[in-house]
Structure 1
Amino acid sequence: MATALIILAAGQGTRMNSDLPKVLHRLAGAPVLVHAMTVGASLEPERTVIVAGHEAEAVTRAAKAHDETAEVVIQAEQLGTGHAVAQALPALKGFTGKVIVLYGDTPLIRPETLDALAKSPAGITVLGFTASDPRRYGRLIVAGDRLERIVEYKGATEAERAVRLCNSGVVAVESALLNELVAGLTNDNAAGEYYLTDIVAAARKRGITADIVICDEAETLGVDTRAQLAQAEAAFQARARAEAQENGVTLTAPETVFFAFDTVVGRDTVISPNVVFGPGVTVESGAEILPFCHLEGCHISRGARVGPFARLRPGAELAEDVHVGNFVEIKNAILDEGVKVGHLTYLGDAHVGEHTNIGAGTVTCNYDGVSKHRTEIGAHAFIGSDTMLVAPVKVGAGALTATGSVITEDVPDDALAVARSRQVTKSGLARKLFDKMKAAKAKRQKEI
């Protein structure tokens, strides 16, 4: 059956104590909302509708940046979850299939859980969990093996509050039925809100089946506070580390490695302690990431070795068997097979040919204060230590730059470029200068 998503993301999240909407706070390098959109996308929905409210423009930008096909509708007044879904339904006009309602602040639901919801044959299927501490969750009231109704905590009796089976808020409903049930909602309750949960009792009165899919409580964690954001981060990282190890990745100190929401690491890669992945990183099989590296927006090929203390920024492309050593930063640069960049170097806006060696302290001077410029280095070249490559500039294949050179002109293939002043040595002058400076210092101190 075809599916569509409605993702509720209109709340302000006052308990976050932030100017930023709660769904835009970052988890594993991406807004919490993006996590909800990503798991929803696993169903390959025909349509995705985001319901925004507080700071709607910012929420829209984040949603569109992740999925430009997503449609955003506005809930000007926050009058409850049922009211929020009502704002989204016109955007689903003409859709026939199952609608799944998700929450933009609930980022940890697994794809297999959503798949079970989508495949449920019941008219309405609710995602539930057994709570360790039910607190103020809505309760799922069951008769036999069927869900009869959902009771919000505020309106529940003591007997109903004793029930430990709780409502996550996530629900799957056939589209035509959802339109009918939402149209019939009222706000005759203790909070004066239109509860989406009331559709279960309404459907049961009509003889429509309602079912429950049970998930682990950890999947339903909502991010309403900074503490819950930290909980969600810890849960995400624990899950990501376990999945990496199951997929054949070696983590020598798993608790110190932090993945982004979209990190891809191939098997037989070894990741050392204190490595942080930002968004957009792919590491192929058999690579090695040494301690204290920060990687973002880069691609690392098979057999490459990175670190320790290396930083790869967006656009860094490392081919097979490349070595990037300590205190090296790579940005928007392609390093071909076998390139070695041992230490203390910055390569930005550059292309380095295969098996070239980059000496310590090399810098591609790519920015002139207005524009970025590119450096091209050919294959099998040797860039001497402390070379400044003033872009735009090209160094040919097999060429050599002398240590301490400032290269401002292109260097032909197989040529040697020396760009430094000739050394001048004055015998005995150092002692005379030191004696003069010490005498001047002693005179100043005496005057004081």
Structure 2
Amino acid sequence: MKTTIFLRLHAALERYLPEQRLFLRSDHETRFIRLRSETQLVVLVGSALTVAWTIVATSILLMDNIGAGSLRDQAQREQAVYEQRLNDLASERDLRAGEAQKAQKRFTLALAEVSKMQSELLRSEDRRKELETGIDVIQSTLRRTMTERDGALAKAAGLELSLSRKTGSTRTPEGRIEDMRQTVSFLSDALNLTATERDAVAAEAAKAYDLASSLDYDRQLLQNRNDQIFSQLEDAMTISVEPLDKMFRAAGLNTDTLLDQVRRGYSGLGGPLTPIAISSRGEEPLDPDSLRANSILRELDRLNLYRLAAEKTPFAIPLKSSFRYTSGFGPRWGRMHEGTDFASAYGTPIYATADGVVIHADWSSGYGRLVKIQHEFGIETRYGHMSKIRVKVGQRVSRGDQIGDMGNSGRSTGTHLHYEVRVGGKPVNPMTYIKAARDVF
């Protein structure tokens, strides 16, 4: 049965692919190679498969190159838009910081004016008390003088009565007239002096009242201006602090613990952010302006702590040139990919994403040329597959310092940067930090 089928297939092939002979001739002999129908079929099928595979592979490569070019162009456009947004946000942040500094200067001047007005009011109050004390002294003197006069008159009357009993007569009418004249003159002088001092005291009191009214009006104007300044400062603090707070929370960081650590590292006292304290015992002031000023100063201190924490946290992107993402954080080919890959040209500069200390700058098996940077808050960043390392172990770097060049060292299939972020030794998604800072930096 099988022989019959083979014979029929051979006969069918013979009709389309008859047996061929390939002659090989030399100087001494002639040989030939017989190409059977089955052999020709195998050669034709193999050739067809080879041509088909070549066509398919070429098409795939062309489509991949076209797609890669399109993705690269799109990535470049997105990078340009992103960089423009970063520049706009940085300009707006600098503008807000300038406005906050100007507002703080205006607030300082306003506090100085308030202090000056308060001193004027205190001096006016002291003057008024002095005038009241003078009036009390004058009235006491007048009462004492009148008492002494009454005593003198009573004594004179007693002496006259005693003289009358002894001599049988009082003083002459002329003497009594002279005594009355002297008494009236004394009383008139005392009353004139009292009236003059009273008028002077009244004039001083009127001036003090006018000055107090003027100072109170100026104080009200200053209070209104202070309210406007406080409102602008409070709005500026809200606009500045809330995005930073959201950024750290979006990165999964506890802001209270974070700020406490920064505060312990910068625990110096004094300076423009010290709260206002009028009491000699260091108690909090009770007036509304001082309370609002202390609240603004606390927010300024919080903003400054956030700024320090942001410089030590890897919110930045390790590349400033055009790039494209080639692989993200997560499982890949059955294994865990513990970072994010950025592809760009060979030798592209690589930058530190936060302040820190270099703890490794050498070759490391699969990573190739690897740099590790230890940051605050238990955070570590890694930069792998470099072509050149530009830092040394123990070197302190700041965010934006170049630490190496992009390459293809280690276990790598092409030029790219393998970037990792580890918290407490455990890898986390670097894009969490990059996306959290997208609307801030």
TM-score (structure 1 length as normaliser): 0.19
Greater helix share, structure number: 2
Greater strand share, structure number: 1
> Which of these two proteins has the greater Rg computed from alpha carbons?
2
TM-score (structure 2 length as normaliser): 0.19
Q: Which has the higher contact order (CA 8 A, sep 6+)?
A: 2
